Chain A
Amino acid sequence: MKILAIEASGPVAGCALLEDGLLTADYNVQYKRKHSQSLVPMMDEMKRMLELDLQTVDAIAIAKGPGSFTGLRIGVATAKGAALAMDRPIIPVPTVDSIAYNLYGTDALICPLMDARRQQVYTGIYEWKRGDTDTAAGDLRFTVVRPQCVIPVSEIAEDLNARGRSVIFLGDGVPVSKDALAKLMKVPYSFAPAHLDRQRAAAVASLAWSYYQEEGNACMVSADDFRPEYLRLAQAEQEHSERRSFSLLLEK
């Protein structure tokens, strides 16, 4: 099983190749927001370096969102085009889950924070759960405690405080949330180091591989059917639905 992974939903443009659990390439660049110019040349470079025959690739994994609307769509449209040409399915991976998946084996809760502007973050809560035989290798399960969502930092802090466990924060939302967290957090917390704290194509590939091991083809969708997950309406839709509910209210 060969998985080509693409990540362009946030500040990082990246691609990776995972072959039956072996990571053969992981190429990430965090430089301005130039995904449109960098992503496909990076994929092409990776292909050349690996002497990769794309016909041997079984699926394309992609960070499906949330994220920067434009960056997210650059990755998604690229993946869709490539998947159509290669006649291969897509394995969608929730962006926040894939960021959390950078960390392994910790007893702390994992809380990625992506800057969503407008005083909100894209976030979620994750943990590595131990099985009954906690010494057995591989008996650690990546578990979604709170699925990815868009909320104010105060709300995720409140949730974490109520759980009474220590927390590791990571992601590009950390710098903008640090001051707020210092005031809000009542449980012990820390921040992931630089090499683990951003979106990373290898994490997308690796998490997609774990889906495939658990669910088989059920984790895949066709290029035509795949839609990114924004977690937010377009502003015009938002305002339109607010006006509608307001006028419905008036009618009552």
Chain B
Amino acid sequence: MNDLKKDITILAIESSCDETAASVVVNGRQVLSNVISSQIDIHTLYGGVVPEIASRKHTERVTQVIRESLEEAGRKLEEMDAIAVTYGPGLVGPLLIGVSAAKGLSFATGIPLIGVHHIEGHISANYIAEPTLEPPFACLVVSGGHTHLVLVRDYGEYEILGRTQDDAAGEAFDKVAREIGLGYPGGPKIDKASREGDPHAIVFPRGKVAGSRYDFSFSGMKSAVLNYLNTSRMKGISVNVPDVAASFQQAVVDVLVSHAGDAIEQYGLKKFALAGGVAANTALRTGMKEMCAEKGAEFFCPPPVLCTDNAAMIGSAAYFEYVKGNFSGLDLNAVPGLRLGQR
């Protein structure tokens, strides 16, 4: 690592899905600004994120969001040590807006560019929320697009223990929410409805992946809910929506918690962190917290604003690339299927 005598200030940009975000972060931990322009209202009209519309909105908003983040931080662009941007994984159209704008900034200023992995960003949100957190720890990243159980060996060193074989957890929430008439976005709607329901009212299967201890499968659980709804409909039984929501949520949470618990045990870890949009889910937080207490592991979870997509987490992840001297060229491209640990 470089001998860093001065503070490192990074401007970070995130546009991998439906939030246009920019942030100024010092030394990977101190957030000076965290501007997020959400498009959720538009995509709610269509029941999910429409990539072409998201790309258009990012294009409209990107410079304003960057400008606001600098103003809020009270810093000038010239004062930045690096410009960081999410280059994958995510939706290619939206990713390209952040990447292109970041390259335009880097070209015009000569400030070095750092391409950041979106999931590494989510994991790094924990470094912001808990300034004393250091690797190694296990991290479960759960969002609308991702479900990854990751062993964080060191800063920027990751081993994927498990990932979803089909739907991401958040995606399953969206689909079930649509079926039971709760609408989009599914995660928060199911979380809310569940508070009125009985999580043990209906027993949905806990999805397992044969031959893989840590992988996830949520499509079977989602189908079980659909079957339950169809059967009830055919029998003329009215469906208790809060019960279905709570029971489905419980099934998902059980699987996530048990996989995380197994990893803590197998690797003898003392720390466990949650990350990603679904980490804002109340039942998941509670379940993980209880499990960690049982296993004697310290539990970390960023506040909701750092769980959903934001650029501060990208600025944090970029800092650890900066100290290693990992910079990107002006030919940086969006890589929608970028894998963790890939450069």
Point out residues on A near B: beta carbons under 8 Å: 36-41, 43-44, 47, 54, 69-70, 73-86, 223-224, 227-228, 230, 234-237, 240
Q: A175 to B99, alpha carbons, bound, how many Å? A: 33
Q: How many angstroms between the C-alpha atoms of A200 and B64 in the bound complex?
A: 29
Whole-angstrom CA separation of A121 from B157 in the bound complex: 49
Residues from chain A with a CB closer than 8 A to the CB of B63 are 80-81, 83-84, 223-224
Q: Which residues of A contact B45 (CB under 8 A)?
A: 240
Query: Min CB distance, B268 to chain A, in Å?
Result: 43
Say yes or no: B333 contacts A224, CB within 8 Å.
no
State in angstroms the CA–CA spacing of A234 and B96 once bound together: 17
Nearest CB of chain B from residue A239's CB, rounded to whole Å: 9
Cβ-neighbour of A228 out of B59, B67, B96, B102 (below 8 A): B59
Rounded to whole Å, the gap between the CB of A240 and the closest CB of chain B is: 7
Q: What are the 5 closest A-B residue pairs judged by CB atoms, nearest first?
A: A81-B104, A77-B100, A85-B108, A81-B101, A234-B52
Q: In the bound complex, do residue A236 and residue B53 qualify as a contact, i.e. CB atoms below 8 Å apart?
A: yes
- Contact: B67 with A81, CB < 8 Å? no
Pairwise interchain contact B107-A74, C-beta atoms closer than 8 A:
no
A55 and chain B: residue at smallest CB distance = B108
Q: A73-B97, A85-B77, A224-B64 are in contact. Are A78 and B331 (CB under 8 A)?
A: no
For A74, the closest partner residue in chain B by CB is: B100
Q: Are B330 and A44 interface neighbours, CB within 8 A?
A: yes
Residues from chain B with Cβ under 8 Å of A69 in the complex: 52, 55, 93
Q: Is the CB of B97 within 8 A of A77?
A: yes
B334 touches A81 (CB 8 A): no
Alpha-carbon distance between A74 and B178 when the two chains are bound, in angstroms: 34
Chain B residues positioned under 8 Å from A224 (CB to CB): 63-64, 67
Which chain B residues border A74 with CB–CB below 8 Å?
Answer: 96, 100
Per-residue A-contact encoding for B102-128, CB less than 8 Å = 1, 0 else = 111111110000000000000000000
Q: Are B96 and A235 in contact (CB under 8 A)?
A: no
B46 on the interface (CB 8 Å rule)?
yes
Residue of B77, B99, B107 most packed against chain A (CB within 10 A)? B107
Interface pair A73/B93, CB less than 8 Å apart = yes
Q: Which A residues touch B334, using CB under 8 A?
A: 36
A77 engages B108 (CB within 8 Å): no
Whether A85 touches B109, Cβ cut-off 8 Å, given contacts A37-B331, A77-B62, is yes
- Most chain A CB within a 10 A radius of its CB, from B63, B98, B102: B63
| B329 beta carbon closer than 8 Å to chain A | yes
Contact of A82 among B67, B99, B107 (CB under 8 A): B107
Partner of B333, one of A36, A75, A82, A83: A36
Chain B residue nearest to A69 (CB atoms) is B52
Residue B50 at the A interface, CB < 8 A?
Answer: yes
> Is the Cβ of B333 less than 8 Å from the Cβ of A37?
yes
**Interface size grouping (class) on chain B:** 35 or more
CA distance A211 to B331 in the complex (A): 32
B105 adjacent to A84 (CB under 8 Å):
yes
Within 8 Å by CB of B104, from A78, A234, A235, A237, lies A78
Q: Which residues of B contact A39 (CB under 8 A)?
A: 100
Write the nearest CB–CB distance from A90 to chain B, whole angstroms: 10
Minimal beta-carbon separation of A65 from chain B (angstroms): 11
Known: A77-B100, A81-B108, A85-B108. Is A240-B46 also a contact (CB below 8 A)? yes
8 Å CB contact of B67 from A84, A230, A234: A84
B295 proximal to A (CB < 8 A): no
In the assembled complex, the CB of A15 is this many whole angstroms from the nearest CB of chain B, namely 10
Mask, B307-343, CB within 8 Å of A = 1, is 0000000000000000000000111011000000000
Q: Is B66 an interface residue (CB 8 A)?
A: yes
Q: Which residues of B contact A83 (CB under 8 A)?
A: 63, 104
Question: If A73-B55, A85-B77 touch, does A38 touch B331 (CB 8 Å cutoff)?
Answer: yes
A44 touches B107 (CB 8 A): yes
Given A40-B104, A41-B329, A77-B101, 4 new contacts (CB under 8 A): A84-B63, A84-B77, A85-B108, A224-B67
Residue of B nearest to A57 (CB): B108
Q: Are B330 and A40 in contact (CB under 8 A)?
A: yes
Q: Among the listed B52, B100, B101, B108, which residue makes an inter-chain contact with A236, where contact means beta carbons less than 8 Å apart?
A: B52
Task: Give the residues in chain B near A84, CB-CB below 8 Å.
Answer: 63, 66-67, 77, 101, 104-105
Per-residue CB contact flags for chain B residues 47-80 toward chain A (1 = under 8 Å, else 0) read 0001011011011101110110000000001000
Q: Which residues of A contact B60 (CB under 8 A)?
A: 227
- How long is the Cα–Cα vector from A84 to B22 in the complex, in angstroms? 14
The answer to whether B102 and A81 touch across the interface, beta carbons within 8 angstroms, is: yes
The CA of A39 and the CA of B322, in the complex, are separated in Å by 25
B268-293 Cβ-contact flags toward A at 8 Å (1 or 0):
00000000000000000000000000
A69 to B53, CA, bound (A): 11
Residues in B with CB closer than 8 Å to A82 are 104-105, 107-108
Could you say which residues of chain B place their CB within 8 Å of the CB of A86? 108
Tell which of B46, B97, B331 touches A40, judged by Cβ atoms closer than 8 Å.
B331
| A76 → chain B closest CB, angstroms | 6
Question: In whole angstroms, how far apart are the Cα atoms of A39 and B63 in the complex?
Answer: 19
Q: Determine whether the beta carbon of B96 is less than 8 Å from that of A73.
A: yes
The smallest C-beta distance from B183 to any residue of chain A, in angstroms, reads 16
Q: In the complex, A85→B66 CA distance in Å? A: 10
7 pairs of residues in contact across A and B, judged by CB atoms under 8 Å: A74-B100, A77-B100, A78-B100, A81-B105, A81-B108, A82-B104, A234-B56
